[in-house]
Chains A and B, each alone.
Chain A
Amino acid sequence: MLTYLIKRFLILLVTLWGVTVISFGILHLAPGGPLTPLTEFNPKITPEYREKLIKMYGLDKPLHLQYLNWLKGIIKLDFGRSFSLDQRPVWDKIKERLPVTLLINTLALILILLISIPLGVLSAVKSGTRFDQIFTFLTFFGYAMPSFWLALLLMLIFGVKLQWLPISGLHSIVGYEKMSLFEKILDWTKHLLCPLFVATFGGIAGFSRYLRNSMLEVLKADYITYARAKGLPERVILYKHAMRNALLPMITLLGLSLPGLIGGSVIFETIFGIPGLGQLMWQAVMSRDYPVIMANLLLVSFLTLLGNFLADIGYALADPRIRLSEKK
């Protein structure tokens, strides 16, 4: 177990390093170097001032020194200042938006698991029946559904036609201060229903289909046949013997699905006007606010990496073949 964890951790470090190298590479994609976007269309910046900026950012030094300096800043969470008018430190901007994105994605993940586990198991058990056929069709539908279109349809139906739900923001603006705690929670829930639906839709399809196949695979195993031969009740076989084993690979899938989930934030946060990281990223790209873009890119890939690492640990803890492999 320890060797496994150490190995995973080393891989984590190598990957982390690779992520910073690629990000640094993108930084230097801009023709003429990273300063061009800042200085190109700005008449206030004279050639002399540009020289000064180049000295200040250390752009006259060799590339590997630049990389090390950049890395030093990142470790101290110093991503520089935003190019936008307020010129605030990038990390401050990110800090206030991170909780919203984490909240929605965590809620989405919980919902995905709550819905897809029973669905996947059920369709594996009823494999070949009408239910399974409909389920399979729906999962393909879920894969293929463009999330932004789903969001538009929800806005059209629930926001415009039925007028049941608000279509933008995290909470009401008018009268929000005067609400009681309960009303505030209700208000948030109403605002989050549509975004959460969009965030979970594709995930449910992927997870439940994966679980269905994993479950079908496990049900073919010898120990299930043995359990049946012993005369164990079908319920015990399914939920105690089969499901626990079928759920194991889900831990890895959980880690692997993080990039998609976080990536989806860009789309639903932009459409529903939710002030999270995804919306920040989109706004930064639209206004070419490079420090914010880079910090965002690094942060979401760190989060993904961390999620993968946690999934690895979780897998090791859950699977006795790894947990008990110390002595080998």
Chain B
Amino acid sequence: MLKEICQGKSGCFALLIVLTLIGTALFGPYISPYDPLEIRVDEILQPPSLKHPLGTDLLGRDVLSRMIYGARISLEVSLVAVGLSLLIGVFLGAIAGYFGGIIDQIISRFIDIMLCFPTIFLILAVIAYLEPSILNIMIIIGLTSWMGIARLVRAEILSLKEREFVLAAKIYGASSMRIIFRHLLPNALPPVLVSASLGMGNAILIESALSFLGIGVQPPIPSWGNMLIEGKETLEVAWWLSFFPGLAILLTVLAFILLGERIQEIVNPKRK
């Protein structure tokens, strides 16, 4: 699979960025040049230099170190959020598609209802009632982003369930749950993989938007989104504070989208 992804130029680029991100998140503490929380009053707002490759912020903290730490937060949040949305989406989509009838009606209406809320508004409303802790943000993003996956899985199962191998499984007496989870879902895996990759990009975008609005990851914990708040305040004097964290978000999201697109091409060559 990895080899195949790397055959395309864009796939290779995407894979490189995603692997770099994972590496950065895993080994952050060993590779970051400074402590991301260390305040140095004598080094505030330093432009990029050899000593501080991406400059320093208002409190003299090293931007590169903070971004390395932020990569970990972003990846953590989006992994848990996407995991949760996969869990809900695959489960609801599978039973809606397999059982049909009234169960399908109820689940499909529920999806329609959830899709009516502009995600950002819904998340904002929920966060206003809860604490904006990292755990809450992961859960809320997960709870508000499963609808697309549910629809996708439902459609896949609908088209698969009339096939002979399902009939065969029924004849030898397999239970509904066994048919869904052992026979149908593995066949629906490729499109789910694609939307999981796109979902990672989306979750990172939402997390950083929330943090930028001041209701996501809270300072002093650095995240790419909340680093940009300082960037906005110091726009006139320190361009690097608003440039680099945003660039990191853009490249990461772009990588996940391209990766999803590449997986799509591999598992479904007709689409190309």
Nearest-neighbor residue (CB-CB) of B215 within chain A = A285
**Interface flags, B49-61, vs A, CB<8A=1, else 0:** 0000000000000
Q: Known A144-B254, A160-B235; judge A297-B117 contact (CB<8 A).
A: yes
Of B116, B126, B236, B250, the contact of A26 (CB 8 Å cutoff)? B126
CB distance from A296 to the nearest CB of B (A): 7
Asked if B98 lies at the interface with its beta carbon under 8 angstroms from chain A, I say no
Q: A266-B124, A285-B128, A293-B125 are in contact. Are A15 and B249 (CB under 8 A)?
A: no
Residues of A19-67 contacting chain B, CB below 8 A: 19, 22-23, 26, 29-30, 37
- Which A residues, 277 to 326, have Cβ-Cβ distances below 8 Å to chain B? 281-282, 284-286, 288, 290, 293-294, 296-297, 300-301, 304-305, 308
B184 smallest CB distance to A (angstroms): 27
The answer for the CA separation of A145 and B201 in the assembled complex, in Å, is 10
Of the four ranges (under 10, 10 to 19, 20 to 34, 35 or more), the interface on chain B belongs to 35 or more
Contact between B249 and A19 (Cβ–Cβ < 8 Å)?
A: no
- Check if A153 is an interface residue, CB within 8 A of chain B: yes
Does B90 interact with chain A (Cβ within 8 Å)?
no
A144-B250, A260-B118, A266-B213 are contacts. A293–B113 as well, Cβ < 8 Å?
Answer: no
Q: CB-CB < 8 A to B114: which residues of A?
A: 22
- Which residues in window 112-137 of B have CB below 8 A to A? 112-122, 124-130
With a cutoff of 8 Å between Cβ atoms, the chain A residues found around residue B205 in the complex are 144, 146
Instruction: Please judge, given known A-B contacts A146-B246, A148-B228, A152-B235, whether A18 and B118 are in contact too, CB under 8 Å.
Output: no
In the assembled complex, how far is the CB of residue B178 from the closest CB belonging to chain A, in whole angstroms?
32
Contact, CB under 8 Å: B201 / A144 = yes
* CB-based contact A141/B246 at 8 Å: no
In angstroms, Cα B253 to Cα A145, docked, is 8
Q: A259-B118, A267-B120, A282-B213 are in contact. Are A22 and B130 (CB under 8 A)?
A: no
Q: Bound complex: CA of A264 vs CA of B206, how far in Å?
A: 11
Give min CB distance, A269 to chain B, whole Å. 11
In the complex, B146 has a CB within 8 A of chain A: no
CB distance from A106 to the nearest CB of B (A): 16
Q: Kindly state the separation between the CA atoms of A26 and B212 in the bound complex, as whole angstroms.
A: 23
Say whether B239 faces chain A, with CB atoms less than 8 Å apart: yes
A2 within 8 A of B: no
Q: Does A140 contact B261, Cβ atoms closer than 8 Å?
A: yes
Q: How far is the CB of A204 from chain B (nearest CB, A)?
A: 16
Q: In the complex, A208 Cα to B49 Cα: how many Å?
A: 41
Asked if B110 is at the interface of the complex by the 8 Å CB criterion, the answer is: yes
Q: Does B3 lie at the interface of the complex (its beta carbon under 8 Å from any beta carbon of A)? A: no
Total inter-chain residue pairs, C-beta < 8 Å? 148
The answer to whether B257 has its CB under 8 Å from any CB of chain A is yes
Residues of B within 8 A of A146 (CB): 205, 208-209, 246, 249-250, 253
Asked if A259 and B115 make an inter-chain contact with CB atoms under 8 angstroms apart, the answer reads: yes
B163 close to chain A: CB less than 8 A: no
Closest Cβ of chain B to A7, distance in Å, is 13
The answer to whether B124 and A145 have CB atoms under 8 Å apart is no
CB-based contact B125/A26 at 8 Å: yes
Known: A26-B126, A140-B258, A296-B121. A15 touches B208 (CB 8 A): no
CB distance from A229 to the nearest CB of B (A): 25
Pick the contact of B128: A18, A264, A288 (CB < 8 A): A288
Q: Given A145-B250, A259-B119, answer yes or no on A26-B129 (Cβ-Cβ < 8 Å).
A: yes
The contact of A266 among B120, B243, B249, B250, by CB within 8 Å, is B120
Q: Chain A residues near B239: list those with CB within 8 A.
A: 156
Flag whether A11 is at the interface (Cβ < 8 A): yes
Residue contacts A-B, CB under 8 angstroms, 24 given: A18-B109, A18-B110, A18-B113, A22-B117, A26-B126, A144-B205, A144-B253, A146-B205, A146-B209, A148-B228, A149-B242, A149-B245, A149-B247, A156-B243, A256-B115, A263-B119, A270-B213, A281-B124, A282-B213, A293-B124, A297-B122, A300-B117, A301-B117, A308-B116
Known: A18-B113, A262-B118, A293-B125. 17 other contacts (CB 8 A): A18-B109, A18-B110, A19-B113, A140-B261, A146-B249, A148-B213, A152-B235, A152-B242, A259-B119, A262-B121, A282-B124, A296-B121, A296-B125, A297-B125, A301-B117, A305-B116, A308-B116
